[in-house]
Amino acid sequence: MAEDAPAAPLFRRLCIIGIGLIGSSLARLVRERGDIAATLVLHDRSADVMERARELNLGDVVEPNPVRAVEHCDGVILCVPVGAYHATMSVIAAHLLPGCVLSDVGSTKSSVLRDLVPLLPEGVHLVPGHPMAGTEFSGPDAGFAALFRERWVILTPPPGTDAAAVERISEMWRRAGATLEVMDAAAHDKVVAIVSHLPHMIAFTICSTADDLAQETRDNVLRFAASGFRDFTRIAASDVAMWRDIFLNNREALLEMLARFTEDAQALGRAVRWGEAEFIEDRISRGRKVRRSLIEMKQA
């Protein structure tokens, strides 16, 4: 019996800019599957990263010049920290092919529209995206093709975006094994502020507080850290530039969630001060409930 013909590649020539954890994961996937792009071009501003990408054979072409990297491509995906979008787009915009689909993987989405839309050439389709998948590691060695499998990818195309362009990016993520959700950029930024950005802010802060205490008491308090504190340190080990850029580019939503969190933490602190056992029990029970529902969702 004849085997099914392999699906046609979604892109004739796809360029990934930024070959870190996410860019290299996508590159590995493109190379492994063969049905996402016929030719894969990679670019990074770091010569060391590009050298490593060549050693790992992550692309068909590793191009040090960003203009030459995007020329003739029908798909370009930005995988750089969100603070680098405006500068990157200023360099490549005039060289994007009419009909090209421009997408990204950035963790903040209103800032993407702010930084990219004013520079978008006529006929280039912008389909911003955000894979809700990652680790605390960065760089081209940290990536793996299965990173996006069974994870959400949120797309935030501006109103009026070409439906065929949205479908092409959607299909790329489906081939990565992800599930898609479309929402507007402001709604996205609010959701990720609570489920991703605030947790990182808390993790960075708790580690700084523990570190301050260790310096004050000249004691290695960390040697007593069992798994509770350790769980915070995993996400606190994340990349500095990436998280600086996320905090600065989701300012409004993050500060709103921080204010709500601070109020709630103060309410719990007050209950501890006044010995209000019922209030304390209620907060702990809600934590257990959220954990249970997350585990059930994964099983569903």
Ligand X SMILES: O=C(O)C(=O)C[C@]1(C(=O)O)C=C[C@@H](O)C=C1
Ligand Y SMILES: NC(=O)c1ccc[n+]([C@@H]2O[C@H](COP(=O)([O-])OP(=O)(O)OC[C@H]3O[C@@H](n4cnc5c(N)ncnc54)[C@H](O)[C@@H]3O)[C@@H](O)[C@H]2O)c1
Alpha-carbon distance of 169 to 212, in angstroms, equals: 45
Quick one: which segment of 13-21, 49-57, 134-142, 280-288 binds ligand X (CB under 6 A)?
134-142
Helix residue ranges per DSSP H, the chain: 21-33, 47-55, 66-70, 85-92, 110-116, 163-175, 185-192, 198-217, 227-236, 240-249, 251-273, 277-299
Q: Using CB under 6 A, pick the residue from 9, 11, 15, 23 that binds ligand Y.
A: 23
Alpha-carbon distance of 287 to 149, in angstroms, equals: 27
Nearest distance, CB of residue 65 and ligand X, angstroms: 29
The residue assigned the tokens 């599930």 is: 179
Nearest distance, CB of residue 200 and ligand Y, angstroms: 10
Q: Residue 93 interacts with ligand X (CB under 6 A)? A: no
Q: Residue 132 interacts with ligand X (CB under 6 A)? A: yes
Q: Residue 166 interacts with ligand Y (CB under 6 A)? A: no
Using CB under 6 A as the binding rule, the residues of this chain from 235 to 274 that contact ligand X are: 235, 238
Q: Residue 82 interacts with ligand Y (CB under 6 A)? A: yes
- Torsion-angle region of 57 (φ positive above 0: left; ψ -120 to 50: alpha; else: beta): left
Classified as helix, coil or strand, 255 is helix
Nearest distance, CB of residue 8 and ligand X, angstroms: 30
Residues forming contacts to ligand X in the complex (CB under 6 A) are 107, 132-136, 196, 235, 238
Residues forming contacts to ligand Y in the complex (CB under 6 A) are 17-23, 44-46, 49, 79-82, 84, 87-88, 105-107, 131, 134-135, 138-139, 239, 242, 246
